[in-house]
Structure 1
Amino acid sequence: MQPGAAAEPLQYAVPGTGGVGVLQATAAIEQMLLGGFDPEAAPARSAVPVPAGELLMMPAAAGPYAGVKIAGVAPANPARGLPRITGSYLLLDGPTLQPVALLDGAALTALRTPAVTAVALRRVAVPEAAHLVLFGAGPQAYGHLDALLAIRPLTRLTVVARSAGPAEALAGYARERGLAASVGAPEAVADADVVVCCTTARTPLFDGALVPAHAAVAAVGSHEPDAREVDEMLVGRAELYVEARAVAAREAGDLIMAGVAGRQVWNLAELVRGDVLVPEGRPRFFKSVGMAWEDLAVAAEVYETGR
């Protein structure tokens, strides 16, 4: 859609993500950043506690589109056989703010989160990365496995999860994808090339001293300042990357609780544009809390593909 053109009326509600895959979503996020978008200036997420959990509102605007995601985080839902993350995404024409599409917010989140991780790990994980240690066995774990398979030559997966059944199911899925996969313990990070944490944990999942110096670690499970998936040992050893420094200072418990004041922390735009240090000889840690501009980039891609 050309800037200033009249908006078409709301056309459809998308139950999933319209056939857009993780590489297409990754490219959409990269293109927004390469186009000059500054994640440090993005609007803040608003969160409202409710009896069932938390309601989040995430607005963003860039280029020809604007949009807002209204998401629910309902911790009791999995026990009911329902998704923990719920919600909808309303995509708007940027110049007129007329609605053009309504998307499934949970499906959008399930796609954009691993896509963001892929954007970062494509640049900080060693090219020959073969062994992925994956904490968690929910939808984000499956999405991250697919995303990492798309950008690195993985041959081996170790799943670390609280429940044996879901962990084995994820390992079985990985075997179908051609990986040597098993269920393991946190100590498996000592032999990892890539570690991804997508859990609801509020305390560290593993000993950061065990992570090899060449490894890349991503944590995506929390956007709360008092929750973390990695410990201060890993944070202290690692080169640090975030989506935006401003939002990480408010929401990234992994960094806040480790005390990173005065440390150099790179943002995703700097990483994508090649303006950052990606050192050898120390781990690289990417902390994601999820931002509204990422949803907008992927929602716009879904809409354009559907058109």
Structure 2
Amino acid sequence: MPGLDLIDAPTLRRLLPVGEAVEALRTALRAGLDVTGTPPRSRVPLSAGQLLMMPAEFGQYAGVKIAGVVPGNPARGLPTITGSYLLLEAATLSPLAVLDGEALTLLRTSAVSALAADHLATPDAARLVLFGTGPQSYAHAVALAEVRALRSVAVVGRDPARVQALVTRCRDAGLPAAPGTVESVPGADLIACCTSSPEPLFDGRELAPHATVVAMGSHTPEEREVDSATAARSTVVVEDPATALREAGDIVIPLRQGELDTAELVPLADLVSGHHTVDPSRPRLFKGTGMAWQDLVIATAAHAASTR
């Protein structure tokens, strides 16, 4: 299509470093983006897995991400999540750009976690414990290093070879990484959960009172990466309460158990806009599910950068 901006993964990384992606999200929320108006993602079961469709609109732009979730892909040497993003002019719905969906998802997910951590973590937070060894784990390490001066990154995973590979990749990027274990949790200032685990990764009773946890791996009401003790002890921040109640087992399960109340859920926009103050005596938990407004904001910023 003439004039259509094609943004592949390397181009997206060049056009929009993660620090700029964090600021794009922060600016959009402070400008009044209505997170609650984002349509829920639709899921279509297919023979290979699921097809997800995530539309959104804000200001002069609209867009939709079409993503495939294929559990069998890693065995083929392919990513579990595939897809593309179509950016449109809101007034006419004329196509403006097509972006690599996997790269966009990596960038926006790590950026929104870093945005939340920037408003939740103590200013001197320097010790990160990273659960998971996949692409999102590396993306989160890099993103969190943009908002805090990390002095250590403890990588925790089930496969020692994959742990070492991520440690090496982090070190190559200038991050002070080393293999870690669940015993690293009590000394952590920041904990990032980037796994496909259906069960909690650590005992929330072990969290330091000042610790900040970001969890993004689970996306169903039956699965969770953090336990009820973490939710009960923490200030709990979510992108959107209604979405969290529909998709996040990390929130749904402690609510069902009576360990958490819906009135305690803090919308991310309230945190970013300064309408909610963090209690310094409690741990902090940000549970992200990934929402279509984040894809739109990042796609818009990348398109703007490409046309300057």
Residues of 2 paired with 1:18 and 1:146: CA distance?
12
- TM-score, length of structure 1 as denominator length: 0.95
- Aligned partner of 1:3 in structure 2 is none
Alignment of 1:107-118 (within 5 A): 107-118=103-114
Percent identity of the aligned residues?
48
**More displaced stretch, 287-296 vs 43-52:** 43-52
Residues of 2 paired with 1:100 and 1:183: CA distance?
44
- Tell me which protein shows more helix as a share of its residues: 2
- Aligned partner of 2:99 in structure 1 is 103
Residues of 1 paired with 2:252 and 2:85: CA distance?
29
- Aligned partner of 2:206 in structure 1 is 210
* 1:303 is the counterpart of 2:303: yes
- Aligned partner of 2:272 in structure 1 is 272
| C-alpha distance after superposition, 1:186-244 (max 9, x if no partner) | 12111100000010111101111111110000000122111100000111100000001
Residue identity opposite 2:198 in structure 1: R
Q: Quick one: which of 197, 214, 218 aligns to 1:201?
A: 197
Q: Quick one: which of 43, 68, 71 aligns to 2:67?
A: 71
Q: Quick one: which of 7, 18, 35 aligns to 1:14?
A: 7
- Aligned partner of 2:179 in structure 1 is 183
Residue identity opposite 1:13 in structure 2: L
Shift of 1:263: 3.8
Residue identity opposite 2:156 in structure 1: V
| C-alpha distance after superposition, 1:248-294 (max 9, x if no partner) | 11001101011133441111111110101211111000000000000
Residues of 2 paired with 1:100 and 1:177: CA distance?
33
Change (3 A) 1:299 1:179: closer
Shift of 1:171: 1.2
- Aligned partner of 1:254 in structure 2 is 250
Which blocks of at least 5 consecutive residues in structure 2 are unaligned?
Answer: none
Alignment of 1:4-83 (within 5 A): 10-16=3-9, 17=12, 19=14, 20-83=16-79
Which blocks of at least 5 consecutive residues in structure 1 are unaligned?
Answer: 1-7
Residues of 2 paired with 1:162 and 1:129: CA distance?
26
**More displaced stretch, 36-45 vs 13-22:** 13-22
- Aligned partner of 2:241 in structure 1 is 245
Which aligned segments of 4 or more residues in structure 1 are displaced greater than 2 angstroms?
Answer: 173-181, 260-263
- TM-score, length of structure 2 as denominator length: 0.94
Residues of 1 paired with 2:176 and 2:54: CA distance?
39
> Equivalent residue of 2:185, what SS?
helix
Number of aligned residue pairs: give it.
300
8 Å CA contact 2:21–2:298 kept in 1: the answer is yes
8 Å CA contact 1:18–1:305 kept in 2: the answer is no
> Equivalent residue of 1:47, what SS?
strand
8 Å CA contact 1:9–1:98 kept in 2: the answer is no
Residues of 1 paired with 2:49 and 2:158: CA distance?
22
- Aligned partner of 1:138 in structure 2 is 134
Shift of 1:78: 1.4
* 1:90 is the counterpart of 2:86: yes
Residues of 1 paired with 2:265 and 2:2: CA distance?
42
Residue identity opposite 1:200 in structure 2: S
Residues of 1 paired with 2:5 and 2:262: CA distance?
48
Residues of 2 paired with 1:195 and 1:74: CA distance?
27
> Equivalent residue of 1:258, what SS?
helix
CA RMSD of aligned residues (A): 1.3
| C-alpha distance after superposition, 1:38-58 (max 9, x if no partner) | 111211111122222211100
8 Å CA contact 2:233–2:283 kept in 1: the answer is yes
8 Å CA contact 1:9–1:99 kept in 2: the answer is no
Residues of 1 paired with 2:49 and 2:284: CA distance?
32
Q: Quick one: which of 156, 160, 166 aligns to 1:164?
A: 160
Residues of 2 paired with 1:13 and 1:179: CA distance?
31
- Aligned partner of 2:288 in structure 1 is 288
